[in-house]
Amino acid sequence: MVDLLTLNTDTLRHMQKHLFLKYEEFRQKRLKLNMSRGKPCPEQLDLSSGLFEGLDRNHLAEDGTDCRNYGGLGGLPEARRLFGELLEVQPEEIIIHGNSSLALMHDLIARALLFGVDGQHAPWGRHPVKFLCPSPGYDRHFAICQFFNIEMVTVPLLDDGPDMDFVEELVAKDETIKGIWCVPKHSNPTGITYSDQVVTRLARMKTQAPDFRIFWDNAYAWHDFTAAPVPLKNILTACKEANHPDRVYIFSSTSKITYAGAGLAMVASSRQNINRLTKQMAIQTIGPNKLNQLAHVRFFKTAHNVRLHMQKHAAFIRPKFDLVLNLLETELGTQKIATWSRPQGGYFISFNTMPGCAKKVVQMAADAGVELTKAGATFPYGIDPLDQNIRIAPTYPPLAELKTAMELFIVCVQLVSIEKILSEREGKTAELTVLPEDKAQIV
């Protein structure tokens, strides 16, 4: 394969015909494959078989709490200790609650809009609110903002985190910017991890809003492909050192450690923030599912065991990422029509087509039976200004299906790119069409 841009028009047209035939072969297979969401595969879920067996013994927590009954709002002491250790915060600085960290983020923002975040400043919702959204980013963060009518400001996500020059400039002058979304480790979807310098700058930066908050969604905190974890600087400590102890809320969950529908979610922050949150949550509920917390603590026992468990996950996930990356490299490596990330952990590969091609690629793949995340989803309001980013989620399908899906995806990328190159040469806007003679050959 060679750089497609250097090929003459006849050669490109020849390739195009050949690719259309391949594409049609895929369509005939009537595939029904889904790579749209980052879900653990069944084998990963099986790693936690036996999770609830620990409950057969008894239902008492270490302090004698009967976990079948009401109460225990902040979470069981042993669960706060275990996950506090993993997130490098004190047990008093973490709440274990429910099964979804996304729900914790959603509710925290709802409360901030209604009541403010610190009891000193006005509820956010009294005035227009903006959030910084490093992009490509996580579509469900953006959906929360859109739902609550929070204006999203796109910030470029670089290889070491958000573009901090841009972030610092914006937050220093605009009091309506109340927060920033961050997926600091193995980010969704680009897979990057924030550098120490970026963490320090986020903690230290001067914000015009005195009640500015960082929403630190550390969903992939322990999801490394290698035994040696990719390091991430402790943001809570950095905020304390920078004299902004209350600036950050850290979120995580065991959705991709044990069960995505029945794990534990957690939020960590300064003691002051945690105390305030606990009081507010007491209005919402009498207590979380402590049986699930007890099951998790008994299943893992130690933070070290959680890390070992994550290596077992990696053993399933890594070959899938390798397969995708090898196919991309072999088929597209020299064609100069796309770039992609090579993550060291997490759940996603971020793929960039030539500008203006992503929507068409996703549509073509869908028409042939492979569902990908909607193009644009990785940007605020679902609008990718360059229409080029596609999130690839390789974890769920079995290897054989993943291979087929990626082969089709690559054909779609090549077809749409060639169409674009040819249209640009002809001075037309790219429009994907099957040439009459190709159709004749296909049928």
Ligand X SMILES: Cc1ncc(COP(=O)(O)O)c(C=O)c1O
For tokens 């610190």, the residue is: 118
Per CB under 6 A, 317 contacts ligand X:
no
Question: Running DSSP on this structure, what letter comes out for residue 224?
Answer: B
Which one of 78, 139, 217, 384 is in contact with ligand X (CB under 6 A)?
217
Per CB under 6 A, 133 contacts ligand X:
no
Which one of 188, 200, 207, 270 is in contact with ligand X (CB under 6 A)?
188
DSSP string, 40-66: --HHHHHTTTTGGGGGGT--B-TTS-B
Q: How far is the CB of 292 from ligand X (least distance, A)?
A: 13
Q: How far is the CB of 75 from ligand X (least distance, A)?
A: 15
The kind and range of the H/E element at 352 are strand 349-352
- Identity of the residue, 102 or 349, whose beta carbon is nearer to ligand X in the bound complex: 102
φ and ψ of 268, to 5 deg: -125, 150
For the segment 235-264, give every residue that binds ligand X (CB under 6 A).
253, 255, 260
Strand 389-392 versus strand 349-352 pairing type: antiparallel
CB 360 within 8 A of CB 374: no
Per CB under 6 A, 191 contacts ligand X:
no
Which one of 164, 183, 203, 295 is in contact with ligand X (CB under 6 A)?
183
- Identity of the residue, 188 or 353, whose beta carbon is nearer to ligand X in the bound complex: 188
Which one of 34, 90, 100, 278 is in contact with ligand X (CB under 6 A)?
100
Q: How far is the CB of 413 from ligand X (least distance, A)?
A: 24
- Identity of the residue, 100 or 234, whose beta carbon is nearer to ligand X in the bound complex: 100
Per CB under 6 A, 219 contacts ligand X:
yes
Query: Which tokens is 181 given?
Result: 């979304």
- Identity of the residue, 250 or 412, whose beta carbon is nearer to ligand X in the bound complex: 250
Please list, residue by residue across 320-342, b when 16 or more beta carbons sit within 10 angstroms of its beta carbon and e when fewer do. bbebbbebbeebbeebebbebbe
- Taking residues 381 to 420 in sequence order and writing x for each that binds ligand X by CB under 6 A, - otherwise, the string is ----------------------------------------
Which one of 87, 102, 144, 402 is in contact with ligand X (CB under 6 A)?
102
- Identity of the residue, 134 or 376, whose beta carbon is nearer to ligand X in the bound complex: 134
Give the count of residues interacting with ligand X (CB under 6 A): 13
- Identity of the residue, 183 or 411, whose beta carbon is nearer to ligand X in the bound complex: 183
407 burial class (0-12, 13-18, 19+ CB within 10 angstroms)? middle
Query: Which tokens is 105 given?
Result: 């983020």
Per CB under 6 A, 139 contacts ligand X:
no
Per CB under 6 A, 101 contacts ligand X:
yes
E strands, 42-150, in order: 94-96, 130-135
Distance of alpha carbon 251 from alpha carbon 413, whole angstroms: 36
Per CB under 6 A, 267 contacts ligand X:
no
Distance of alpha carbon 298 from alpha carbon 295, whole angstroms: 5
Distance of alpha carbon 147 from alpha carbon 87, whole angstroms: 29
Distance of alpha carbon 352 from alpha carbon 361, whole angstroms: 11
Q: Which residues would be at the binding site for ligand X (CB under 6 A)?
A: 38, 100-102, 138, 183, 188, 217, 219, 253, 255, 260, 265
